């Protein structure tokens, strides 16, 4: 596990095993005074049910893309785009009590290049997505 405590914010980063023994990169962001308040049970619940949350995120992206293809870099949706192949290579980031994100590092959406796309959750509910195309590397 890697620990970084710059700027009064701590980051814990590690590869952890998810429900199917798949190794997932996990980043936990916490303010210095709240390190002991990290809800590891919540994180473990997400890891052991990761396929459910990935599917929710993919369905959300697919529906959003179909509603506004231009916002995802398409003039029209390709027929080859399916829920199961829309994004891949997930990483997890936990950053507030029950707020967390899946960063899909690769995908068939043009806006996935070069850094991927971020899907934000609060507990088990998808909130929104962020286009990382114009960000510095995350």
> pLDDT by residue (tens digit) across 73-94?
998 888 889 999 999 999 999 9
Query: Does residue 29 surpass a pLDDT of 70?
Result: yes
Strand-pairing partners, residue 51, are none
Instruction: Compute the distance between CA of residue 113 and CA of residue 69 in angstroms, rounded to an integer.
Output: 16
Question: For residue 123, how far is the Cα from the chain centroid?
Answer: 13
For residue 7 the two structure tokens come to: 């700027």
Higher pLDDT, 32 or 117: 117
Cis peptide before 62, with omega less than 30 degrees from 0? no
The closest alpha carbon to 86, from 44, 69, 40, 15, belongs to: 69
Q: How many CB atoms lie within 10 A of CB 41?
A: 8
| Residue 72 in this model has a pLDDT that exceeds 80 | yes
pLDDT band at 16 (very low <50, low <70, confident <90, very high): confident
49 SS3 class: coil
Which pLDDT value is given to residue 125? 96
How many Cβ atoms are within 10 Å of 11's Cβ, its own excluded? 15
Q: Where are the domains of the chain?
A: 2-131
Give per-residue pLDDT as tens, 114-126: 999 999 999 999 9
pLDDT tens profile 40-64: 899 999 999 999 999 999 999 999 9
């Amino acid at each position: 596990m890697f620990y970084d405590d710059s700027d009064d914010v701590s980051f814990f980063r590690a590869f952890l095993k998810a429900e199917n023994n798949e190794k997932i990169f996990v980043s936990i962001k916490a303010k210095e005074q709240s390190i002991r308040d990290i809800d590891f049970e919540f994180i473990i619940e997400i890891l052991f049910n990761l396929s459910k949350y990935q599917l929710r995120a993919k369905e959300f992206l697919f529906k959003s893309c179909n509603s506004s293809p231009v916002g995802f870099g398409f003039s029209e949706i390709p027929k080859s785009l399916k829920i199961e192949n829309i994004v891949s290579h997930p990483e997890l980031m936990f950053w507030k009590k029950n707020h967390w994100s899946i960063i899909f590092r690769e995908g068939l959406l043009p806006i996935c290049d070069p850094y991927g796309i971020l899907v934000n959750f609060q507990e088990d509910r998808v909130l929104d997505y962020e286009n990382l195309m114009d960000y510095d590397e995350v």
